[in-house]
Amino acid sequence: MPTANSAETPWPVRTVARLIGEWIARLGEVWVEGQLTQLSIRTGTCFLVLRDPAADISVPVTCRRDVLPEPLGEGARVVLRARPDYYLGRGSLSLRAVEIRPVGIGELLARIERLKQLLSAEGLFEVGRKRPLPFLPRGVGLITGRASAAERDVLTVTRQRWPGVRFRVVNCAVQGPNAVAEVIGAIRRLDTDPEIDVIVVARGGGSVEDLLPFSDEALCRAVAACRTPVVSAIGHEPDSPLLDHVADIRAATPTDAAKRIVPDVTDETRRIGQLRDRLRRTTLARLTSEQQWLDAARSRPVLADPTLLLRLRIADDDGLRERLRRQIRQWVEAAGADLSHARARVTALSPAATLNRGYAVVQQPDGRVLLDADHVAAGDRLRVRLAAGRLDVTVD
């Protein structure tokens, strides 16, 4: 065992390296899954790099020539059983593989299906989160392989449909061990570009292994986190990597993607012409209808002779005035007749008529009418009312 470690008694590098190597050696064998890169064979020993397909992490691996299966090449998915090995001379960590198994297509498809269910449960496939494409984008970001048929198809068809469209093309690996990291980096760069309104990820057809990067979880989450709409144009119609479900628009082919991201200038010109013709016909029909209504309105008597309505109203007013005059006259005459009849009845019932026939009314000083001679005594003052005037008398 080394001596106690302190600033006064530091360990030499060889001691530290040996202790690290001994600790790593105690880890034992582990099963590791990854993607093969940088494969080389030297004198019966294979040197390769095992890369994590979802992260930019790799570790060197060595094995005997007979451990590596014959058909395997760079980009293949493998599961290997290895023991960690720490090389003291360079202070580097590697894995010494004793068994390497290729991951079959069935297993890959099963993993993709499990990942699909996971992402779907998280809502990354929901229609509500997908963004619509702009009618005419200011700029289009294209992620594709260098000098690929997919790049040529997208650029050619898009510029045929709308010659003024601007592209920012980012070429990167679209298959192999570096594809996922490069495509994610390209997406993030284009997503931060304010001039880019649409991002297109395009690749031609290929085998299931060739299209595996576009079903990678990290790539799917990077696309889901984009603020810019993403169009997936991977493979041909039957191909359906997970990127198709996460992207805002799935195009069957790169050519189909070109048709979706920009309108066809010929179709739009024809549509504008049709709309102009429709607007012209509608306007003429409306003007004709309004002119007919105006002509009909002008032909009406009230507009042909504007004073006619006034004369009719004046005649109506004169008629009503005469009717009112007659009605008032009738009311006055009827009221006069009623008054004469009432006056005659009042006159007939009035005490004055009785007085006119020679009678008189004798009243006591307090105004009461005297009805009995026994109600007065000699010397009482009385008032006698005659038909004309009155007399003040004294009882004798």
Q: Two tokens at 219?
A: 């790539």
Going through 88-234 in order, the beta strands assigned E by DSSP cover: 92-102, 140-144, 167-171, 198-203, 230-234
Task: Say if residues 258 and 202 touch (Cβ distance below 8 Å).
Answer: no
Coil, strand or helix at 34: strand
**CATH dotted code for 13-103:** 2.40.50.140
- pLDDT, averaged in runs of 10, over the chain (396 residues): 75 83 82 83 84 77 83 77 84 85 70 83 89 91 89 91 90 83 92 93 79 85 92 79 90 90 90 94 94 85 75 88 93 93 82 76 85 84 86 89
Q: What is the pLDDT of residue 40?
A: 83
Question: Any residues with CB less than 8 A from the CB of 198 and at least 6 apart, and which?
Answer: 133, 134, 137, 140, 141, 228, 229, 230, 231, 261
Q: Return the closest-CA partner of residue 177 out of 213, 221, 215.
A: 213
Q: What is the pLDDT of residue 196?
A: 93
Q: What is the pLDDT of residue 2?
A: 64
Q: Report CA 243 to chain centroid distance, whole Å.
A: 24
Query: Strand 381-385's sheet: what is its strand order?
Result: 361-363, 381-385, 390-394
Q: What is the pLDDT of residue 185?
A: 92
Determine the Cα–Cα distance for residues 183 and 201; give it in Å rounded to an integer.
8
Determine the Cα–Cα distance for residues 91 and 21; give it in Å rounded to an integer.
9
Task: Say if residues 283 and 291 touch (Cβ distance below 8 Å).
Answer: no
Question: Any residues with CB less than 8 A from the CB of 146 and at least 6 apart, and which?
Answer: 171
Q: What is the pLDDT of residue 13?
A: 83
Q: What secondary structure does DSSP assign to 253-269, as a single string?
A: SHHHHHHHHS--HHHHH
CATH H superfamily, domain 109-263: Succinyl-CoA synthetase domains (3.40.50.261)
Instruction: Dump pLDDT digits (tens) for 165-210.
Output: 899 999 998 887 788 889 999 999 999 999 999 999 998 877 776 7
